[in-house]
Structure 1
Amino acid sequence: MSRHLRSGERIVGAETLHGGITADVRRVTVSTPRGDTRHLVLRSFVDAHRVQYAADWLGRESGALALLTETGVSAPELVAVDPTATHCEYPSLLMTHLAGRTVLRDEGLEARVPLLARQLVAIHAVRPAELPRTYTTLTTADTVVVPEGADPAVWATAIDVIREPAPPYEGRFLHRDFQPGNVLFDVSDDPSAPPTHPAPPSLPTPPAPSAGVRISGVIDWAGASWGPADLDVAHCSTTLALLHGPAWGLRFTAAYEEAGGVLAAATGERRYWQVRDALAASEEVQPVARAWREAGRAELTDRVVAERLDAYVAALLDALG
């Protein structure tokens, strides 16, 4: 890291940042010759299972960060990358630190959803000169984990949806893990305020965002790829459904279109992407729920998250036929 600092700078401290599930993240404090400090962020893939994919992920992320410097999408700036652990103990990426914090609580969600939708529309508007790699999906009909107590017939219907070939799509630049945990907000309210539980959305038009809330940046671009906008929308929808309740997952799709985003015209095509991402979440309920509890959402037990996923899958089939 010291090799990539500016002249006269030195590392004076570091702290672990919590909340992620794929990498160890540290905020590094750097002193400058002027006597002040600045921060960098070091992401390292240390888990033995994930290290085998680290070179690909870090290649995608470093390429995305370089691309985004020329766009209106706020993202960290790339400082250095060591995808094969030649210089670091683990495959790592060093980048600038963005102001802001993730916001996972229910309070204020009505204002954040349209902001998330507009941000995702802006990401999908990026037109790279060289296309990134095509998206990947690891979930198959045979790897889906049906939640305990779920209706077997409902889940069998959902699993049959992803047995079909992927529908054709118009390619877009994808984040591939766009969800509240990877979006930083510059908020003026008290971060220690306890979470509240707003009523599910019912109006077709989202409220105007609060003047005290704005997105300051988007992080974790390791999955950056080329594919259908529906897939990014589906992923954020699933996360919102598990974090805040199934109605919010359905609401995000509408918010994306209200923000100018374009999704598949055919209902069957939309259903494929939405159901595919929801079923993918079935394999990650425990680590995701654990990360959210560590971030302050103590009520999100494995059981609660699994029940929300079950309800969301049923709601998708009802809404999309």
Structure 2
Amino acid sequence: MGVERERARSAEQPVRPLTLAWVSRHLEAGERIVGSEVLHGGITAEMRKLTVGARDGRTRDLVLRTFVDVEDAEDWLDRESVALTLLVGTGVPAPGLIAVDATAAHCEFPSLLMTCLPGRTVLEDEGVERRASLLARHLVAIHAVRPVERVRGYVALTTADTVVVPEGGDAAVWAAAIDVIRGPVPRWEGRFLHRDFQPGNVLFDAPASSPAGVRIAGVVDWAGACWGPADLDVAHCCTNLALLHGPAWGLRFAAAYEEAGGVLAAAASERLYWLVRDGLAASEEVRQFSRPWREAGRTELTTRVVEERLDAYVTILMDTLR
């Protein structure tokens, strides 16, 4: 928690001098930074919205992403810059890359500068059915992207030995779930993955006057973009929806993805493998999941509540697909 507090304090400070000079070199002639706002909700990176003013009085917003003392920051930013470049012209609403300093050759810390997309994250329960359908359709579109050059393959960091069984969790259910990921990896067909596709990384245009008119305005945080099975991306969104809105939403999102034209593993045992793998991965990061949600207004989602939902979700998966 001390590291988190230090990063939070660091993020509240003005843009660092070397980084400010670097950003300024990538602005249009006559432009200058006239405002800076910290964007909350991120886990690993500092995010700031920079307001840039021109001589004629017009302004535009950019986003500065900075990794402070983060291991593998160069790799994350390299992945993101590659992803943002290849998404140009695909129809996927992603930020436009302006500049990247992945090795901190010019900035105090590894940084990336990009355009600012409209919209906002929406995490409340109301309207989740409509938003889940939109999420599914956009994830199908992301998986339809065919990079000219293959991006790097996915990495599954969770192992059977790193899973953290929630307090009060059904030991037998969790033991069986852990045995699932001890087994062989199912055969899969490769797709371009976002790798962290979930409501916190999607910006919605949700007019207050017409809730039914909600649409997705942008998808952000492409630092984990990679090549892998569609099931892995779907499983990650399933886990997030289950923890945000209730355990049943996990399998409901998987169904919505197929209804939108997406293709998942044919066998139930193969689907179970990917869904369980991501659910178990969340067991190691419950605090990281719940903190930004509470900061965004979901104050009822304490660490304990999220643990209970995760336990219920893993149980549903094992009861339904095993």
Q: Give the alignment's TM-score, normalised by structure 1.
A: 0.92
The correspondence for 2:45, drawn from 11, 19, 23, is 23
Distance 1:116 1:180 in 2: 8
Distance 1:253 1:288 in 2: 20
SS in 1 for 2:90: coil
**In 2, Cα distance between the equivalents of 1:126 and 1:34?**
39
Residues 225-270 of structure 1: CA deviation (Å, up to 9, x unaligned): 0000000000000000000001111100000000000001111111
**What letter corresponds to residue 19 of structure 1 in structure 2?**
G
Distance 1:246 1:235 in 2: 13
Partner of 2:299: 298
Deviation readout 1:117-145 (Å, 9 max, x if unpaired): 00000000000000100001111000000
Q: Which amino acid aligns with 1:105?
A: E
How do 1:1-321 and structure 2 match up within 5 A? 1-46=23-68, 48=69, 51-189=70-208, 211-321=212-322
Higher relative contact order (CA 8 A, sep 6+): 1
CA–CA separation in structure 2 for the residues paired with 1:189 and 1:173: 34
**Matched residue type, 2:270:** E
How far 1:210 sits from its partner (Å)?
5.7
Task: Please list every run of 5 or more consecutive structure 1 residues that lacks an aligned counterpart in the other structure.
Answer: 191-208
Match of 1:239, SS state, is helix
Counterpart secondary structure, 2:92: coil
Q: Give the letter aligned to residue 36 of structure 1.
A: R
| CA distances 1:80-112 after superposition (whole Å, capped 9, x unpaired) | 001011111111100000000000010111110
Q: CA deviation at 1:34?
A: 2.3
Shift of 1:33: 2.6
The CA deviation at 1:211 is 4.0
Shift in Å, 1:212: 1.8
Change (3 A) 1:25 1:173: same
CA contact (8 A) 1:29 1:37 kept: yes
Report what 2:17 is aligned to: none
Is the contact made by 1:111 and 1:210 (CA closer than 8 Å) also made in structure 2? no
Q: CA deviation at 1:170?
A: 0.3
- The separation in 2 between residues aligned to 1:104 and 1:90, in whole angstroms, is 30
The structural deviation recorded for 1:37 is 0.5
1:10-63 deviations in whole A, cap 9, x for unaligned?
1111010001111110000100132111000001111x3xx2211111010000
Residue aligning to 1:204: none
Q: In structure 1, the residue corresponding to 2:72 is in which secondary structure?
A: helix
Q: Deviations over 1:196-217 (max 9, x none)?
A: xxxxxxxxxxxxx964200001
Q: Is the 8 A contact 1:183 1:217 kept in 2?
A: yes
Measure the CA separation in 2 of the matches of 1:167 and 1:33.
58
Structure 2 counterpart of 1:251, one-letter code: R
SS at match of 1:246: coil
Amino acid at match of 2:302: T
Q: Report the secondary structure of 1:7's partner residue.
A: coil
User: Do 1:41 and 1:97's aligned partners in 2 also have CA atoms closer than 8 Å?
Assistant: yes
Tell me the residue number matched to 1:196.
Answer: none
SS in 2 for 1:30: strand
Cα distance between partner residues in 2 of 1:166 and 1:13: 49
Matches of 1:226 and 1:168 in 2, distance apart?
14
